[in-house]
């Protein structure tokens, strides 16, 4: 008999995993699928197969990918666990055998290398490969239509260390830029900057030293720079025995922003003192000469992680807000500018403008909170980044929306002309829908709603793959 899941806040409600894989054809659609919406939406997130051994963290669940395939106004759906070596080994044993993101009590090792990876954070299409990503492993390839697991990419052996779950594709060159942190060993300050060419071959994988060992979830690129912000979510294995986590937010360390000129050696990284805060995700960045602009969701401290004394952040501290940074490379000054004073996360934009000046951003937001809602985001918001004006669609307090993924109306359409795709968990019916919004008129509500008879657990990130024409 399988071990029951514990009553953990990140294992109940819509955080709880689903225990099946499904394939459904020609889903019911309210409204009309927009003409030209032809391709696949993929979403990835943690969905543990078995009850965890020891303490659990949301980031430690097995990857499960959900796919919505669009073709000629029809939508098909399927979901699959990612068959990582960890997942296959646990299937053979019939129970959990690792402590992902937690040190093993016998060995003291942190399960975070590619042999025990989770492939549970993001998914994207690059080099004619569908890649499931987490930040402690190499990219893991899936077949794009069936989601069948193909394994870690063959050229992963050319990567010096792991790959971030948030690589950036340069729309001008097609190259994929990424990084890994603690690539020397768990607790190492060593990081690695990766570049893959349009075919997915590794053309650069260079190590450098960060100011201290820390969790580094995301980064940004511009036309001229690569920017690696390091926040004091520090790593100390000895600390795990005291506070239950090797990661803790240490305000004594400060924030350091590493700026590298594109094409320059990593020895040329310039470190700039940044604002004391924490960031999981960036929206976009660009530069005008030596003036760099970065749009980000900024937290006062690291949400879901303790401070060095073991205390967890307050509700207010755990609210992220959209903020613009102005980095002056001449004098090393960083100025913060509030953009939207609403609790938010999962910022997205039209990725044809990655690294360039842009005008439209999209976030999951919560202008209203309910006691016990678990910090759910119930709104999709479009922000005009030039004027600061915002338009919002409200899914209803108590319901939960995913990160909105932007799909352009056509490859040549103007920025913002397109659609936002997001899943919505409905508390009253305990199932999920996929909504399609006009990206320039989200406040008009969905132009189409794709119905599911089950729920999609809260996950992290997704992306769109257009059908070949």
User: Which region among 237-241, 352-356, 410-414, 415-419 has the lowest average model confidence (pLDDT)?
Assistant: 237-241
Render pLDDT for 424-434 as a digit per residue (tens, 0 to 9).
999 999 999 99
Which pLDDT belongs to residue 368? 84
In whole angstroms, what separates CA 461 from the centre of its chain?
5
Q: Mean pLDDT over residues 143-149, rounded?
A: 98
2 within domain boundaries: no
Q: Mean pLDDT over residues 320-339, rounded?
A: 97
CA distance 274 to 256: 5
Count Cβ atoms below 10 Å from residue 305 Cβ, excluding itself. 19
428 within domain boundaries: yes
Count Cβ atoms below 10 Å from residue 303 Cβ, excluding itself. 18
Which pLDDT belongs to residue 108? 45
Render pLDDT for 15-39 as a digit per residue (tens, 0 to 9).
999 999 999 999 999 999 999 899 9
CA distance 129 to 142: 7
158 within domain boundaries: yes
121 within domain boundaries: yes
For residue 136, what is the DSSP state? Answer: T
306 within domain boundaries: yes
Q: Which CATH number fits the domain that encloses residue 276? A: 2.120.10.30
Count Cβ atoms below 10 Å from residue 201 Cβ, excluding itself. 11
What is the number of structural domains in the chain?
A: 1
Q: Beta strand 379-384 with 360-366: parallel, antiparallel or unpaired?
A: antiparallel
Could you tell me the pLDDT band of residue 111, with boundaries at 50, 70 and 90?
very low
Q: Taking the model in full, what pTM does it have?
A: 0.95
Sequence-ordered alpha helix ranges (H) in 32-101: 85-93
Q: Mean pLDDT over residues 407-417, rounded?
A: 97
The domain in which residue 87 lies consists of: 9-466
Count helices and strands (H / E) in the chain. 2, 33
151 within domain boundaries: yes
Local structure of 114: helix, strand or coil: helix
What the block records as the tokens of 52 is: 């965890």
Q: 125 with 111: CB under 8 angstroms?
A: no
1 within domain boundaries: no
Q: What mean pLDDT value characterizes the chain?
A: 92
Local structure of 465: helix, strand or coil: strand
4 within domain boundaries: no
């Amino acid at each position: 008999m399988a071990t029951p899941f514990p009553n953990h806040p990140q294992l109940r409600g819509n955080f709880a995993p689903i225990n099946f894989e499904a394939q459904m054809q020609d889903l019911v659609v309210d409204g009309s699928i927009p003409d030209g919406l032809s391709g696949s939406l993929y979403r990835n997130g943690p969905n543990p197969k078995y009850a965890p051994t020891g303490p659990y963290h949301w980031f430690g669940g097995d990857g499960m990918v959900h796919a919505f395939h669009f073709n000629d106004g029809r939508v098909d759906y399927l979901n699959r666990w990612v068959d990582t070596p960890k997942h296959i080994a646990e299937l053979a044993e019939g129970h959990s055998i690792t402590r992902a993101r937690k040190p093993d009590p016998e060995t003291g090792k942190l399960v975070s290398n590619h042999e025990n990876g989770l492939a549970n954070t993001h998914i994207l299409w690059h080099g004619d490969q569908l890649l499931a990503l987490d930040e402690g492993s190499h990219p893991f390839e899936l077949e794009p239509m069936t989601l069948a697991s193909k394994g870690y990419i063959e050229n992963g052996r050319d990567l010096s260390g792991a790959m971030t779950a948030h690589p950036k594709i340069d729309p001008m060159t097609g190259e994929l830029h990424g990084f890994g942190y603690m690539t020397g060993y768990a607790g190492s300050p060593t990081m690695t900057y990766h570049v893959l060419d349009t075919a997915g071959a590794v053309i650069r994988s260079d190590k450098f030293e960060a100011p201290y060992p820390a969790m580094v979830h995301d980064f940004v690129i511009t036309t001229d720079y690569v920017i690696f912000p390091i926040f004091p979510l520090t790593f100390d294995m000895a600390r795990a025995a005291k506070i239950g986590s090797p990661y803790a937010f240490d305000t004594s360390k400060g924030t350091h922003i590493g700026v590298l000129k594109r094409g320059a050696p990593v020895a040329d990284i310039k470190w700039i003192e940044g604002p004391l805060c924490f960031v999981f995700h960036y929206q976009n960045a660009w530069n005008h000469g030596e003036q760099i602009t970065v749009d980000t969701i900024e937290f006062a401290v690291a949400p879901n992680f303790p401070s060095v004394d073991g205390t967890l952040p307050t509700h207010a501290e755990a609210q992220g807000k959209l903020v613009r940074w102005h980095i002056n490379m001449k004098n090393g000054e960083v100025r913060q500018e509030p953009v939207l004073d609403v609790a938010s996360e999962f910022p997205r934009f039209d990725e044809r403008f990655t690294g360039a000046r842009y005008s439209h951003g999209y976030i999951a937001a919560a202008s209203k909170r309910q006691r016990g809602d678990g910090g759910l985001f119930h709104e999709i918001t479009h922000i005009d980044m030039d004027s600061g004006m915002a338009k919002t669609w409200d899914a209803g307090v108590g319901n939960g929306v995913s990160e909105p993924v932007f799909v352009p109306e056509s490859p040549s359409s103007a920025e913002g002309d397109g659609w936002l795709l997001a899943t919505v968990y409905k508390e009253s019916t305990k199932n999920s829908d996929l909504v399609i919004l006009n990206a320039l008129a989200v406040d008009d509500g969905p132009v189409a709603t794709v119905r599911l008879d089950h729920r999609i657990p809260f996950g992290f990130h997704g992306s769109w793959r257009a059908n070949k024409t």
